[in-house]
A and B are shown apart, each in its own frame.
Chain A
Amino acid sequence: MRIGLVCPYTWDVPGGVQEHVRGLADALIDLGHYASVIAPANEDELIEPRYVVPAGRAVPVPYNGSVARLAFGFLSASRVRRWLKEGDFDVVHVHEPTAPSLSLLACWVFDGPLVATVHTAMPRSRVLHVSAPILQSALEKISGRIAVSEAARTTLVEHLGGDAVLIPNGVSVHRFEKADPLPGWPGDGGTLGFLGRIDEPRKGLSVLLEAFTLLAAERPGLRLLVAGPGDADEALEQVPPALRDRVVLLGQVSDEDKVRVYHSVDVFCAPNTGGESFGIVLAEAMAAGAPIVASDLDAFRRVLRAGRAGELFQNGNAADLAAAAARLLDDPVRRATFAEAALVAVRDYDWQVVARDVLRVYQAVAPAAGRVAAAVL
């Protein structure tokens, strides 16, 4: 099949949607299909991978309560038109179609089988409420709608009506399998790791900091490695001053360094207190072979095979987290067993598997072109 993928956000800025589009495109190509991605990007620079077609620079504009980098206007529309013409696609798959960027333009311009994936949950969104009538004429061309989480599906149904099929995010397992640890890590005294926004309460860093304080008192060499954007000083204030030099905050890290972070820790912690329908960070850590301690949210419990592929602790309970982490820190055999089980479990979430479900959607909206794809399924 010839598949055109539209990414609304700047390609060179790390983000969940960009990562999703990249993982999907790679998997579709691996499965023997032709895929091309159009995304906002500067044409002068070399863009990796080669299947990405730049649609010009994105402009920072206020949208939905924050500043987003988006591409819109007649120039972008004509770039999309040209890409569609040259691509001669069987299916065009737009991502985040409600964002005022390339995806919406593609819906507007393209006459053919359209698939859309909704990523973000925006409960009671004012933006969507106001723009629903404008969006309607472009969105009613979409034949197949996908949501990556139940929350995203609810948002879509609430504001724009209709329904969507739930296909979760995938993980490019092979990209996480091998990497060198960051210099000096994990060290001899043991290292706990965390990845995610540090000032987002639902990511649960506070619970981990409290547990670290409990553990560090008895373990003089123990350190904590934290990667993710947010206010570092505010986070450090939650740890006693004597322990602060043992907490290292890297801030926002590149894609490459993110993989290295997973390989730099003895125990990876996912202390999320809620709101995660599917733990992408958790799945990445599993793919990297990191031993995991995670809160016992329903989604985490399922991903970790009810505790066979990682330690579960009582959500929000720092003492329980400290105990679970200690069990792993003290027992290399247990760590290895969990890491091995996690590598097996994470295969269900590999893009190679998830992309087959997405191909079924393409087949449902473009049955004629899908006959070729059926051979692959």
Chain B
Amino acid sequence: MTAVTSLVVIIVLALIGVYVSWRAGRLDRLHARLEAARFALDAALVRRSSVALELASSGLLDPATSVLLADSAHEARAARAARELPESDLTRALRAVFGQPEFRASLSGMQDAVELLAELEGAAHQVFLARKFYNDAVAATQAARRRWLARALRLAGNAAMPEFFDIDDSLLPAGEEDQEADMPHLTS
């Protein structure tokens, strides 16, 4: 009898062990996904401000637009702790640049400018995607870590609770959010 009881106890403990390690593995994978998303977001933000600066200093745009763009790109680049606000400001500056009346028509015959603007548009879309995917990973990780098992057994270890990164990063002009695509094609 005692042999059967202890066998049952051992099996139950083994099953619990398997379950906990499966859950720990899932959480581990979520943290890896989060880290990759954070890396992609950082890279996308740096690239966007660099291309914006490059365009601003290229002399291809009019001086007023260039100054506006250079200023906001520089602010976004210099910010360390509170990045959300300057990065959102850069997006607004980009929308102002791309949203000028007759913007596409004004570029005809300016091959260099078109190439650089297309690159900037691509970099802005990359920020939009990376931020969305990062926040998705944050939401999934937060939800998994709030489950009682993860909290009780401290499955996440000492890793800090991830936080959302909320910025305005869409190139869609205001009032056109009901388009059928999130990433408008503005230069081509």
- B128 surroundings in chain A (CB, below 8 A): 165
Compute the total of residue contacts between A and B using a CB distance below 8 Å: 82
Give A100-126 as 1s and 0s: 1 = Cβ < 8 Å from B's Cβ atoms: 000000000001010000000000000
B16-64: which residues lie under 8 A (CB-CB) from chain A? Answer: 26, 29-30, 33, 36-37, 39-40, 43-44
> Is B180 in the interface zone, CB < 8 Å from A?
yes
> Is A317 in the interface zone, CB < 8 Å from B?
no
- A278 surroundings in chain B (CB, below 8 A): 180
B120-169: which residues lie under 8 A (CB-CB) from chain A? Answer: 122, 125-126, 128-130, 132-133, 135-137, 139-140, 143-144
Tell me the smallest distance from the CB of B48 to a CB of chain A, in Å. 13
Are B137 and A166 touching (Cβ within 8 A)?
no
Q: Which of B40, B132, B137, B188 lies in contact with A165, CB distance below 8 A?
A: B132
> Is B104 in the interface zone, CB < 8 Å from A?
no
Tell me the smallest distance from the CB of A308 to a CB of chain B, in Å. 16
Tell me the smallest distance from the CB of B144 to a CB of chain A, in Å. 7
- B126 surroundings in chain A (CB, below 8 A): 360, 363-364
Tell me the smallest distance from the CB of A145 to a CB of chain B, in Å. 7
Residue of A nearest to B44 (CB): A364
Residue of A nearest to B130 (CB): A364
Are A299 and B122 touching (Cβ within 8 A)?
no
Give A362-374 as 1s and 0s: 1 = Cβ < 8 Å from B's Cβ atoms: 0111010000000
CA gap between A231 and B43 in the complex, in Å: 55
Are B139 and A377 touching (Cβ within 8 A)?
no
Are A365 and B26 touching (Cβ within 8 A)?
no
Are B183 and A140 touching (Cβ within 8 A)?
no
Are A144 and B129 touching (Cβ within 8 A)?
yes
> Is A143 in the interface zone, CB < 8 Å from B?
yes
Residue of A nearest to B139 (CB): A162
Q: Which of B36, B125, B144 lies in contact with A365, CB distance below 8 A?
A: B36
CA gap between A357 and B122 in the complex, in Å: 9
CA gap between A137 and B129 in the complex, in Å: 23
CA gap between A357 and B178 in the complex, in Å: 18
Residue of B nearest to A277 (CB): B180
Interface size of A by CB at 8 A reads 32
Contact flag A364-B129 (CB < 8 Å), given A143-B37, A143-B137: yes
A134-161: which residues lie under 8 A (CB-CB) from chain B? Answer: 137, 140-141, 143-145, 149-150, 161
CA gap between A377 and B144 in the complex, in Å: 36
Are A367 and B182 touching (Cβ within 8 A)?
no
Are B122 and A360 touching (Cβ within 8 A)?
yes
CA gap between A162 and B37 in the complex, in Å: 14
> Is B105 in the interface zone, CB < 8 Å from A?
no
> Is A248 in the interface zone, CB < 8 Å from B?
no
Tell me the smallest distance from the CB of B170 to a CB of chain A, in Å. 11
CA gap between A307 and B139 in the complex, in Å: 43
Tell me the smallest distance from the CB of A107 to a CB of chain B, in Å. 12
CA gap between A302 and B176 in the complex, in Å: 12
- B178 surroundings in chain A (CB, below 8 A): 150, 298
CA gap between A347 and B140 in the complex, in Å: 37
- B130 surroundings in chain A (CB, below 8 A): 364
- A88 surroundings in chain B (CB, below 8 A): none
Residue of A nearest to B133 (CB): A144
- A137 surroundings in chain B (CB, below 8 A): 26
Tell me the smallest distance from the CB of A1 to a CB of chain B, in Å. 15
Are B33 and A143 touching (Cβ within 8 A)?
yes
CA gap between A365 and B134 in the complex, in Å: 10
- A298 surroundings in chain B (CB, below 8 A): 178
- A353 surroundings in chain B (CB, below 8 A): 185, 188
> Is A167 in the interface zone, CB < 8 Å from B?
yes
Are B122 and A377 touching (Cβ within 8 A)?
yes
> Is A190 in the interface zone, CB < 8 Å from B?
no
B binding-site residues for A, Cβ under 8 Å: 26, 29-30, 33, 36-37, 39-40, 43-44, 122, 125-126, 128-130, 132-133, 135-137, 139-140, 143-144, 178-183, 185, 188
A binding-site residues for B, Cβ under 8 Å: 111, 113, 137, 140-141, 143-145, 149-150, 161-163, 165-168, 277-278, 298-299, 302, 348, 353, 357, 360-361, 363-365, 367, 377
Q: A149-B180, A364-B130 are in contact. List 7 more A-B contacts (CB 8 A).
A: A140-B29, A143-B36, A163-B139, A165-B129, A360-B122, A365-B40, A377-B122
Q: Can you name 18 A-B residue pairings with CB atoms under 8 Å?
A: A113-B36, A140-B26, A143-B137, A162-B139, A162-B140, A165-B132, A165-B182, A167-B181, A277-B180, A353-B185, A353-B188, A357-B125, A360-B183, A363-B40, A364-B126, A365-B37, A365-B133, A377-B122
